[in-house]
């Protein structure tokens, strides 16, 4: 039985996949996103958990997950930096008929994806920015490997592409045009889930004595999300609400030219 390094557990998650979900936040991440609201998950630390313990805990609440068509989501940090543990845990969940999802930012070797594909029902894949230079500025690294991994993952399992709308940073016309091109370049259609930038994590940065560099950026408003959603939907891209698996807008709400 393997052990995984983890940060925390949320037993009634509603924004990390379909239905009510058991969300295990694994620790360790190579990206250094300026807007990360969990910088305390970047380091692996020494808190570990076994597949057996996760499964025993999850099964105590299983009736909530089954009733809502939910399941387990492995988030982080970056769960796919621990592919062997993730594969073992997801395989165990699959053996009990539990729906499995990974929440990933895609920065790792492609082999890490291959290890977990047989046991993963769906993926939430976050892209910080499509422009490589902007991605480097936002996350500390360019996105060449991330985009390759996105294409690879889309070939094999259902993927929802997550995109954080940061006013004046990731919602400029060129940003949304690049996002549109990326979605249309994928081997299968994928929906886009728009997440509004928020500042909930600032206190964690302060507690960790880290400088938060987006102090002057306002939080995204519903209007910011609708503006981006409208553009994407005009390009025949399905847009999902952050808290639901239904479109954020109906076709009737998209303004005509």
Query: pLDDT tens, 144-158?
Result: 999 999 999 999 999
User: How many C-beta atoms lie closer than 10 Å to residue 160's C-beta?
Assistant: 20
Sign (positive/negative) of CA torsion 27, 214, 169, 249? positive
The span from the CA of 81 to the CA of 9, in Å, is 18
**The pLDDT of residue 127:** 97
Going by pLDDT thresholds of 50, 70 and 90, the confidence category of residue 253 is very low
Can you tell me the mean pLDDT for 75-88?
Answer: 97
As a whole number of Å, the CA-based R_g of the chain is: 18
β-pair partners for 191: none
pLDDT exceeds cutoff 70 at 88 = yes
Q: What is the pLDDT, as a whole number, of residue 242?
A: 54
Over range 189-209, report the average pLDDT. Answer: 90
Domain ranges of the chain: 3-253
**What is the rounded CA–CA span in Å between residue 77 and residue 148?**
20
Structure confidence at residue 14 (pLDDT):
94
The hierarchical CATH code for the domain 3-253 is 3.20.20.70
pTM of the model: 0.92
Phi, psi of 52 (to 5 degrees): -60, -45
CA quadruple 56, 15, 4, 155: dihedral sign: positive
User: Looking at per-residue confidence, does 51 or 247 come out higher?
Assistant: 51
The pLDDT score that the predictor gives to residue 203 is 84
Q: Which of 54-63, 132-141, 234-243 has the lowest mean pLDDT?
A: 234-243
* pLDDT score for 206: 86
Per-residue pLDDT at 243 exceeds 80: no
Long-range contacts of 10-15 (CB under 8 A, 24+ apart): 11/57, 11/61, 12/61, 12/64, 13/73, 14/243, 15/242, 15/243
**How high does pLDDT run on average in the chain?**
92
- Strands 99-104, 192-196: pairing kind: unpaired
pLDDT computed for residue 255 by the predictor: 35
| Element of type H or E holding 148 | helix 144-156
- Per-residue pLDDT at 254: 37
**How much is the pLDDT for 153?**
98
DSSP letter (8 states) at residue 144: H
> Would the pLDDT of 214 be above 60?
yes
pLDDT > 70 in the chain, percent: 94
């Amino acid at each position: 039985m393997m052990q995984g390094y983890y940060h925390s557990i949320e037993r009634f998650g509603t924004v990390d996949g379909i239905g009510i979900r058991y969300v295990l936040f694994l620790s360790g991440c190579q990206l250094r996103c300026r807007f990360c609201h969990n910088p305390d998950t970047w380091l692996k630390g020494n808190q570990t958990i076994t597949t057996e313990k996760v499964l025993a805990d999850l099964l105590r609440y299983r009736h909530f997950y089954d009733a809502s068509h939910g399941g387990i989501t492995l988030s982080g940090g970056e769960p796919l930096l621990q592919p062997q543990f993730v594969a073992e845990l997801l395989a165990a969940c699959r053996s009990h008929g539990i729906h499995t999802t990974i929440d990933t930012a895609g920065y790792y070797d492609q082999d890490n994806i291959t290890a977990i594909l047989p046991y993963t029902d769906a993926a939430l894949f976050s892209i910080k920015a499509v422009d490589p230079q902007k991605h480097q500025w936002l996350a500390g690294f360019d996105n060449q490997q991330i985009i390759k991994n996105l294409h690879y993952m889309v070939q094999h399992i259902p993927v929802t592409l997550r995109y954080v709308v940061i006013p004046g940073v990731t919602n400029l016309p060129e940003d949304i045009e690049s996002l549109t091109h990326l979605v249309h370049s994928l081997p299968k259609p994928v929906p886009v889930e728009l997440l509004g930038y928020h500042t909930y994590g600032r206190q964690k940065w302060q507690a960790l004595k880290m400088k938060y560099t987006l102090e002057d950026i306002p939080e995204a408003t519903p209007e910011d999300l609708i503006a981006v959603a409208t553009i994407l939907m005009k390009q025949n891209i399905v847009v999902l609400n952050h808290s639901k698996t239904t479109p954020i807008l109906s076709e009737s709400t998209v303004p005509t030219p």
